[in-house]
Amino acid sequence: MAVNKVPVLKRCRSLGLDPLYLGIDKKSKRQLKRANRKVSDYGLQLKEKQKAKFIYGVLEKPFRNYYEKADRMPGQTGENMMVMLESRIDNVIFRLGFARTRREARQIVGHRHVLVNGKYVSIPSYLVKAGDEIEIKEKAKSSERYKQILDATSGRTVPEWLEADPENLKGTVKELPRREAIDVPVNEMLIVELYSK
């Protein structure tokens, strides 16, 4: 499996992204030294794509597949793609507050700690549907790790399309998110322009 080894804060600086979107509560004191160059349209489009891929932890080929799938769906391609990225099980675990970062959520899913409608799911890219019940397996609920995670994420607000029960480490997908409910600073129209060339 390919892993991006670039330090997170360095990558956030280069993309002009606040680390809080990744669930990281650190700030970099360094300033990015960059000449005031005019960025081309392609450069802006590429930066938006890299930002979305970095936030959701998706590599190029699966990201392209999301775009192609979204293009075949009715409605706007960019919105469809953002809804699919937001509906990934690793992102949902992060949004429910059962993981500090999306990377940690991906690891939790990979270690078979997550049940969707009573069945184990170990694929981070699994897409949830409206009405799905998500919970952490019984054996893992009492572990010290989840107590620390819940302490760290207690102040985080859960989006309105999800319903969380932190005491029992359970959650429900009330509906699929609409674009307005997704607080990720990505202009998906630029990504669509980039791929539709």
Contacting residues for 109 by C-beta, under 8 A, at least 6 apart:
89, 90, 93, 121, 122, 123, 124, 126
For domain 88-176, give the CATH number: 3.10.290.10
**Percent of the chain surpassing pLDDT 70:** 90
Which amino acid, residue 117? N
Least Cα distance to 48 among 74, 80, 15, 20 occurs for: 15
Judge whether residue 3 has pLDDT over 70: no
> What tens digit of pLDDT does each residue of 87-117 get?
999 999 999 999 998 889 999 999 999 999 9
> What tens digit of pLDDT does each residue of 120-131 get?
999 999 999 999
Which segments of the chain belong to CATH 3.10.290.10? 88-176
Asked if 116 and 132 touch (Cβ cutoff 8 Å), the reply is yes
**Angle, helices 77-86/41-56, rounded to nearest 10 degrees:** 30
User: In this predicted structure, what is the pLDDT of residue 13?
Assistant: 76
Judge whether residue 35 has pLDDT over 80: no
For domain 8-85+181-195, give the CATH number: 1.10.1050.10
Judge whether residue 191 has pLDDT over 60: yes
Which segments of the chain belong to CATH 1.10.1050.10? 8-85+181-195
